[in-house]
């Protein structure tokens, strides 16, 4: 029986395993805890998303949809190996599964076939959604598979679990096929090898240089036809804050998607009505902290 890691310890475990982690919006307090408890936790569950594109995938996993509210997992593992944290606590990822499978995970032994859906998995598992169409054709880049290995190993290491505490959704809930494109036995073998090796050494601390941010360029800067690396950097910050409304991008040309995304940011920091028109003002721009391009 294990108490869930705190949000900070979860973040530390992932970064300590050498992963690149992006904190998305209010992930530390974004959960479904009002629907039931989270914990005790017993393992890590791996999924595929049936989506294409990191931005859209992260947005879906953060917010969910009408039939299944978000967050849909704790972390999204993108094609490039980046882990996007979108929730902490109970999340809508596992659903009902087989109690015999849960008991095998707790005992860290070989899994039986999943034949029943009688046990609340959202309560007992960490969940990672991995960006992939799940059609058996969409490739799994080596860097993404390594990130799945690292993320699962990080949590197992933090709890003192073995690789047998990691399962796929298809091993938990009858009728599920995810993850498709690699076997969970091969992934567990990788995780076992990682856990048997010495823990990765954290880099020696260095004195970071102060982060420089783009000064407010003025509202007139944001006009149709304007192209600038500043606009791209702004868009990336909006995505990181959970305000991105891009189908493609962000890119260097000021667009309606930029305006819509910035309006979402203005509303997030308390503006409304005409004050949330999507045109940056000095106060909201300074809060966004766009890094120098």
What SS3 class is residue 243? coil
Last residue of a domain, one of 146, 162, 196: 196
Q: Within 10 Å of residue 234's Cβ, how many Cβ atoms?
A: 26
Q: Are residues 188 and 225 in the same domain?
A: no
Q: Is 61 found in the same domain as 171?
A: yes
In the chain, how many domains are there? 2
123 with 261, same domain? Answer: no
Domain boundary residue, one of 142, 161, 196: 196
What are phi and psi for residue 131, nearest 5 degrees?
A: -65, 110
**Do 52 and 185 form a contact (C-beta atoms < 8 A)?**
no
Q: Could you read off the pLDDT tens digit of each residue along the chain, which spans 293 residues?
A: 699 999 999 999 999 999 999 999 999 999 999 999 999 999 999 999 999 999 999 999 999 999 999 999 999 999 999 999 999 999 999 999 999 999 999 999 999 999 999 999 999 999 999 999 999 999 999 999 999 999 999 999 999 999 999 999 999 999 999 999 999 999 999 999 999 998 777 667 677 677 789 999 999 999 988 999 999 999 999 999 999 999 888 999 999 999 999 999 999 999 999 999 999 999 999 999 999 86
Within-domain flag for 209: no
Range(s) of the domain holding residue 105: 7-196
CATH (domain of 76): 3.40.80.10
206 assigned to some structural domain: no
Residue located via tokens 């954290």: 202
Measured between alpha carbons, how far is 215 from 292 in angstroms, rounded to an integer?
A: 9
Considering just the CA atoms, what is the radius of gyration of the chain in Å?
20
DSSP string over 167-211: EEGGGTSTT---S-SS-HHHHHHHHHHHHHSPPPPPPPP--PPPP
Neighbours of 115 (CB within 10 A): 10
Give yes or no: residues 158 and 246 share one domain.
no
The number of residues making up the chain comes to: 293
* pLDDT at residue number 99: 98
Query: Does a structural domain hold residue 257?
Result: yes
Quick one: 191 and 226 in the same domain? no
Contacts of 16 (CB under 8 A, 6+ apart): 154, 199, 200, 202
Residue 229 to residue 168: CA distance in whole angstroms: 41
Distance between CA 92 and CA 89 in Å, rounded?
Answer: 10
- Token pair 């000095």 is found at 282
Three-state DSSP class for residue 121: coil
Are residues 228 and 183 both part of a single domain?
no
Query: Does the residue 211 lie in any domain?
Result: no
Question: 160 near 151, Cβ under 8 Å?
Answer: no
Residues 226 and 139 reside in one and the same domain: no
pLDDT of residue 132: 98
Residues 145 and 232 in one domain: no
């Amino acid at each position: 029986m294990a108490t869930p890691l705190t949000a900070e310890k979860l973040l530390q475990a992932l970064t300590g395993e050498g992963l690149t982690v992006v904190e998305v919006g209010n992930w530390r307090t974004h959960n479904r805890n009002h629907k039931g408890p989270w914990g005790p936790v017993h393992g890590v569950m791996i999924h595929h998303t049936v989506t294409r594109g990191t931005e859209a995938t992260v947005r879906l996993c953060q917010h969910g949809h009408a039939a299944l509210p978000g967050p849909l997992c704790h972390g999204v593992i993108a094609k490039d190996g980046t882990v996007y944290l979108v929730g902490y606590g109970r999340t809508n990822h596992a659903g009902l599964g087989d109690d015999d499978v849960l008991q095998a995970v707790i005992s860290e032994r070989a899994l039986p076939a999943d034949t029943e859906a009688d046990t609340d998995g959202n309560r007992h598992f960490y969940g990672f959604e991995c960006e992939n169409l799940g059609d058996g054709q969409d490739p799994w880049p080596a860097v993404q598979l390594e990130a799945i290995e690292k993320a699962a190993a990080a949590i197992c290491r933090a709890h003192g679990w073995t690789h047998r505490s990691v399962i796929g959704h298809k091993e938990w809930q009858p009728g599920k096929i995810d993850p498709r494109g690699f076997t969970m036995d091969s992934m567990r073998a990788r995780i076992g090898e990682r856990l048997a090796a010495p823990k990765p050494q954290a880099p020696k601390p260095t004195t970071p240089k102060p982060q420089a941010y783009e000064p407010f360029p003025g509202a007139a800067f944001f006009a149709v036809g304007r192209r600038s690396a500043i606009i791209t950097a702004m868009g990336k910050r909006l995505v990181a804050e959970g305000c991105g409304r891009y189908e493609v991008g962000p890119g260097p040309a000021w667009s309606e998607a930029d305006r819509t995304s910035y309006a979402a940011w203005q509303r997030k920091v308390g503006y409304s009505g005409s004050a949330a028109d999507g045109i940056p003002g000095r106060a909201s721009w300074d809060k966004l902290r766009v890094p120098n391009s």
